[in-house]
Structure 1
Amino acid sequence: MDKDELRAWLRLSMTEGVGNDAARRLLACFGSPQAVFEQAQAGLSQVVTPKQAQALLSVPNELAVQCVRTQQWLRHPPDTHHHALWTLGDAHYPAELLQLADPPLLIYVAGQTARTLGNAMAIVGSRNPTPQGAQTAAQFGEALSAAGLCVVSGLALGVDGAAHKGALQGGKVRDAVAFSETHWHTVAVVGTGLDRVYPRQHQTLAHDIALQGLLISEYPLGTAPLAHHFPKRNRLIAALGLGTLVVEAALKSGSLITAKMALELGREVLAIPGSIHATQSHGCHALIRQGAKLVENAQDVLEELQLAPQQQINLLTEQLNSTESNDEHPLLTHMGYAPVSLDALQARCGLDTAALQAQLLTLELDGDIGRLPGGLFQRLASS
């Protein structure tokens, strides 16, 4: 788009009190953002409230700065990927978002902009998962990506990040076999401007996502990570996926908001059960009681979405349901898969405290178990 058109879109999106719904009505009536700002207050008042019409006559204070910032961002992407601004009606604008009651007026995107979404699955969960939960999110992300699905999540710490990382690994398998480079491997929907990465720990992850997928934001460049942005962006995550898989979530988790939004959009909601002792599993158990699909492996996801050719089922079954080794460490057998305290484990195995702690440290260093808050230990799924 040219400079004047960009300015008009930014002005419409930045006008205080004019949300996505009102902006859509204005565009439907007048045809373009430029035409909106050519109207007198009386004409605007036929479409929106008098207060909104008055606001449209004033130029936002930060508009000039935002125009320059956006133009520079669009003109100077990194060598590895592209930057773009997709507006309602743009051919690249994901059709899935148009099913929302308030689709973003425009979205900022960074990554492989020539590709498309394809079949997608949202994976969400706790920002503070158990070691088992983080590993499970990565496994499902990898398996679903390898099967040809795009994994959608929110780039947050915990389950989101693990799902993105798994999807990137699965993308390598996918590219090595039969899939073309026409779809994104993973999509991260963020709650900040795309000229910053939040959380900072995911700088490298965000860069890797841009190489194989896409970063999306409805917020202008320079937008800080404000708390109320993240629940709002969850509707985009829910809309982009054919379903939403909740890996771990407490009863008041934002992931349950995403699941609720998915249901309202007619999408599938799936949940992975966990230990009754882990608060991170209570939200998943509540979803299952309310009718969410109980999921144990990626095959369950594909079957629920009716996207499970037999060869894919066989592949995923081999990847995720491999049998346990006969030379398994005895302590792992005593541990089981639920979180367990040192005292309880000692009662099961009969080892003295020093010997038990030494063996636990060895297993932890080998990646066979994880340490939880409260002095608990948990076996990891690959063991």
Structure 2
Amino acid sequence: MEFRDLKTQYQKYKQEIDSAIQKVVNDANFIGGNEVKELEEQLADYVGVKHCISCANGTEAMTLIMMSWGIKEGDAVFIPDFTFFSTGEIVSFKGATPVFVDVDRETFNIDTIQLEEAIIKTIEEGKLTPKVIIPVDLFGLPANYPEIERIAKKYNLLVLEDGAQGFGGNINGKRACSFGDAATTSFFPAKPLGCYGDGGAIFTNDDKLAELLKSLKVHGKGENKYDNVRIGVNSRLDTIQAAVLKVKLKAFINHEVEDVNRVYNLYNVRLNGIVETPSIPEGYYSSFAQYTIKLKNNDQRDGLQAKLKEEGIPSMVYYVKPMHKQDAFAYLEFNDQDFETTNNLCDIVLSLPMHPYLSEEDVDKVCDAIKEFMF
């Protein structure tokens, strides 16, 4: 059994993927080929925004936004404490200060009440200037953008949606990566829409921001790549990855998001009353980058993971350590009691196999093993 089954996906679309890759090889246009522009147009159309700017990976996508917004030393950027390291890393990389915020236990996403409290506290302390909120669409579920955008407007802050895991989700039909002032996603192979290497994209309706990003991602180019008008980086999505993503995007739209939600429902029915299953608020739709359950304590979580391993069932713990406890952020001062939910989640969460190609028989096998352990 695969945790995220890219092998079955490839076999299903082997002819189209192989043909798309071969075309790039035949054309020998490996950087900036037509497939890149076509993919960007298709992604922007799917998400429902004016511009999609592809780049090297999801981390670079967020870094480019930090560069374009001029985020610097003395600025405060508010991010959830329960997420992958890169969301905080890109803040420190620009010399700014990440301000970690505890999360909602039900959704795993940033707690909007504590977000506003953190903003007020930062303003009152007067040491940092609040600039940006970076909500994360954790495990495929969009964050509470209606409330986050209200808070951002109240305190004159920018919002960058980290949709690395959320691509394909929506809130009342408004798709992930269309929220805030800009949004980013990742095409890392295990993501909801993944390529066969690294890749990322930025989404925005801001024409000036889009033009600036196109310059920054290619060495700060002006009219051409030999006319350099600013300091930039080298962050391009290569043509082969774009060709693969074009094939995968069709499958993603046609059935994959629907299929992971089918698997979600299968799990929920079988695990109801056995363990704490994912909670999707009314009006929200998840792309289920992960299906994450909660156990009673660390011993029970680790025991269940060991049991699943014995049965040949893969599982993962996202995340074993909160952001505020990462050694890289040891220079920052925090009160551990401010992260009660995140600290608890790191001890009790367990992600089960989840992908569009998971059969009902496999779901039964996973759930039977869980029931056997629990009882």
TM-score, structure 1 normalization: 0.25
Specify the structure having the higher radius of gyration (Cα). Answer: 1
Higher RCO (CA-CA < 8 Å; seq separation 6+):
2
